[in-house]
Amino acid sequence: MLRKLVRSARNTELGWRYGSNLRPTIRFLLGGKRPVGSEVEILRDLDKNGVAVVPFESLDTGVSFSDVEKEVSGLVEDQMPAILNIKESANTDHSVGRKTFNLEMFGSEVTFDPNSIFSRLALNKSFLNIADCYFRMQTRLRYYNVWYTSASVSAARESQLWHFDREDRFILKIFVYLSDVDRGAGPFTYAPGTHKKGSFSSISPAFFDEDGVRRTTDEQMSNAYPRENWRVCTGKKGSVILADTRGFHKGGEARTGDRLMFTCMFTSPASESKNLIRYPDDATFSNFERAQKAALGY
């Protein structure tokens, strides 16, 4: 009974912030962080709609996009056998639970490499500033990876169907397109305002049970939320999509072209999210700034 009460208190904004996440909230308030430049508009969009799309160059990441591209083309070359496998399994293995249309190029758990351009991209000052200002607390980086999503002809399944993530009250995912993504390449798609801060947070579209997970088809979604308001995030390579995936979203339903993108995720420190980053015993963080170490939980 008491445990139930504590759990429901933690699920309120007050309990989540000032109970479970008091220390990171105080640190944020004392740190005086503010959005700068294009981050101001991004935060306005995130607060109101739960989604924002900007070109990579508009952010002050300190990371060169052409260096990212160079690394990625090496990664694609190295991983060609795995890419060919995913292109095959996308169409032949329709089992649910393993996203057989999507290759996580660093595996499902990334081994943290402080020298890699991808860890530096995930921990760049602009992403960290946006994440902290959106949550209004010092956040944690939980995941980063590069995804290769293969085109397929099979019926939409798993994250290709509408759903929302449940690990936390707010969940910030950032996607950086590394290939041009048109409607045929499985663009990330969002229902604006369905996040906790939004005006449509209480919509409850019909759903079906897909192996224990609630999924909503396009038709079910359109009965609860007008299709013309869906934000289909097509974009050229270098487009950056920031979304609070506690709101309804889907993506990766690629039909005519493959999609390549970098992704990373931030949650509150108290989130029950699995930490999908593994830190080798000899990893050193001396080159990282304080804000970056905080995002890693050090």
Ligand X SMILES: O=C(O)CCC(=O)C(=O)O
Interface residues with ligand X (CB under 6 A) are 159, 165, 173, 188, 245, 249, 251-252
In angstroms, give the least distance from the CB of 252 to ligand X. Answer: 3
Instruction: Measure the CA–CA gap between 191 and 102, rounded to whole angstroms.
Output: 22
Closer CB to ligand X, 197 or 215, in the complex: 215
Answer for the pair 58, 40: CB distance below 8 angstroms, yes or no. no
Closer CB to ligand X, 186 or 294, in the complex: 186
Residue in the structure block whose two tokens are 């801060």: 197
In angstroms, give the least distance from the CB of 163 to ligand X. Answer: 7
In angstroms, give the least distance from the CB of 173 to ligand X. Answer: 5
Closer CB to ligand X, 133 or 264, in the complex: 264
Closer CB to ligand X, 205 or 251, in the complex: 251
Cβ partners under 8 Å of residue 212, min gap 6: none
In angstroms, give the least distance from the CB of 158 to ligand X. Answer: 8
Closer CB to ligand X, 17 or 169, in the complex: 169
Instruction: Measure the CA–CA gap between 269 and 97, rounded to whole angstroms.
Output: 26
In angstroms, give the least distance from the CB of 244 to ligand X. Answer: 11
Helix, strand or coil, per DSSP, at residue 45: helix
In angstroms, give the least distance from the CB of 6 to ligand X. Answer: 28
In angstroms, give the least distance from the CB of 227 to ligand X. Answer: 18
Sheet harboring 259-267: ordered strands across?
A: 51-55, 239-244, 172-177, 259-267, 140-149, 102-104
Answer for the pair 254, 186: CB distance below 8 angstroms, yes or no. yes
Residue in the structure block whose two tokens are 């989540």: 16
Sign, CA dihedral 176-179-182-185, equals negative
Residue nearest to ligand X (CB): 251
Instruction: Measure the CA–CA gap between 134 and 144, rounded to whole angstroms.
Output: 19
Closer CB to ligand X, 165 or 210, in the complex: 165
Instruction: Measure the CA–CA gap between 158 and 256, rounded to whole angstroms.
Output: 19
Closer CB to ligand X, 105 or 294, in the complex: 105
Sign, CA dihedral 166-171-175-181, equals positive
